[in-house]
Amino acid sequence: GQQLNQSPQSMFIQEGEDVSMNCTSSSIFNTWLWYKQDPGEGPVLLIALYKAGELTSNGRLTAQFGITRKDSFLNISASIPSDVGIYFCAGQWGFGNEKLTFGTGTRLTIIP
Amino acid sequence: NAGVTQTPKFRILKIGQSMTLQCTQDMNHNYMYWYRQDPGMGLKLIYYSVGAGITDKGEVPNGYNVSRSTTEDFPLRLELAAPSQTSVYFCASSYLEGHQPQHFGDGTRLSIL
């Protein structure tokens, strides 16, 4: 089946730093989604990408749909304490009934 | 704003017992999903529904059943609980077509002993 690898698995950064994480697939996707999961809560959809090369922002978050369609990137600028959590990518090959494949997550910790 | 509400938050079951995980949403979303999240793994789709009266299997449906009698509610039933069903279960909803869940509940942490 399709595999998604997220990198890094965990990050320890200081407040104010920029963050970069990525997600790579063994096969092509036509949709990439990025979610954030706060401790003890369910994931929340942050950004959806539908076209290769697309760059989409949501506040301090920017995500890109890789040109090869096998990867996606998420950047967070000027991190703040509420950015702490687990970030998941998810990919989708087709549309309609095609199920999502989720990555295993990048855990972001902010060091005081 | 309630969003997606799941109950209970925690539950311990004995092997062979059954239970229903409740999920309700107040956003009038047609699409609802049940996922399980195992440690160090991505979310896996158990069942989904595209509207009241319509349900379908996801990746890992064995040992589970669902129903969707109303737009708001999407309960997940575990029959004959097994240790392999120990997991965190998330219900989600969306108005987006094509398996793109937007809002998740806070999860139900289930242990089967």
Region B7-15: mean pLDDT is 96
Query: Taking CB atoms and an 8 Å cutoff, what residues of chain A touch B103?
Result: 42, 44-45
Kindly determine whether residue B100 and residue A104, on different chains, have CB atoms separated by under 8 Å: no
pLDDT at B73 over 80: yes
CA distance A76 to A79: 6
Q: Which of B107, B79, B74, B81 has its CA nearest to residue B15?
A: B81
What confidence score (pLDDT) does residue A93 get?
80
Region A28-36: mean pLDDT is 93
Look-up: residue for tokens 């809002």? B103
Residue A103: half-sphere exposure toward Cβ, Cα within 13 Å: 32
Q: Work out the minimum CA distance from B67 to partner chain A, whole angstroms.
A: 19
- The answer to whether residues A34 and A47 touch, using CB atoms and an 8 Å cutoff, is yes
The string of DSSP letters for A44-89 reads EEEEEE-STT-EEEETTEEEEE-TTSSEEEEEE-S--GGG-EEEEE
What's the mean pLDDT when you consider all of chain A?
Answer: 91
Kindly determine whether residue A96 and residue B106, on different chains, have CB atoms separated by under 8 Å: no
Edge-to-edge strands, sheet with B19-25:
B4-7, B19-25, B76-78, B64-66
CA distance B4 to B76: 14
Residue type, A4: L
Q: Which residues of A touch B (CB under 8 A)?
A: 4, 31, 33, 40-45, 48, 88, 90, 92, 95-105
Q: Work out the minimum CA distance from B40 to partner chain A, whole angstroms.
A: 6
> Closest-CA residue in chain A for B91?
A42
Look-up: residue for tokens 């392999």? B84
Q: Which of A76, A70, A57 has its CA nearest to residue A28?
A: A70
Region B17-25: mean pLDDT is 97
What's the mean pLDDT when you consider all of chain B?
Answer: 93
- The answer to whether residues B17 and B113 touch, using CB atoms and an 8 Å cutoff, is no
Q: Measured between CB atoms, which of A98, A101, A104 is closest to B98?
A: A98
The more confident residue out of B99 and B6 is B6
Q: Which of B30, B59, B99 to mutate to test the interface with A (most CBs of A within 10 A)?
A: B99
- Of the pLDDT bands very low, low, confident and very high (cuts 50, 70, 90), residue B36 is very high
Q: Which of B108, B44, B112 has its CA nearest to residue B83?
A: B112
Query: Taking CB atoms and an 8 Å cutoff, what residues of chain B touch A105?
Result: 42
Q: Work out the minimum CA distance from B6 to partner chain A, whole angstroms.
A: 10
What confidence score (pLDDT) does residue A41 get?
87
What confidence score (pLDDT) does residue A2 get?
61
Give the pairing type, strands A4-7 and A55-58: unpaired
What confidence score (pLDDT) does residue B18 get?
96
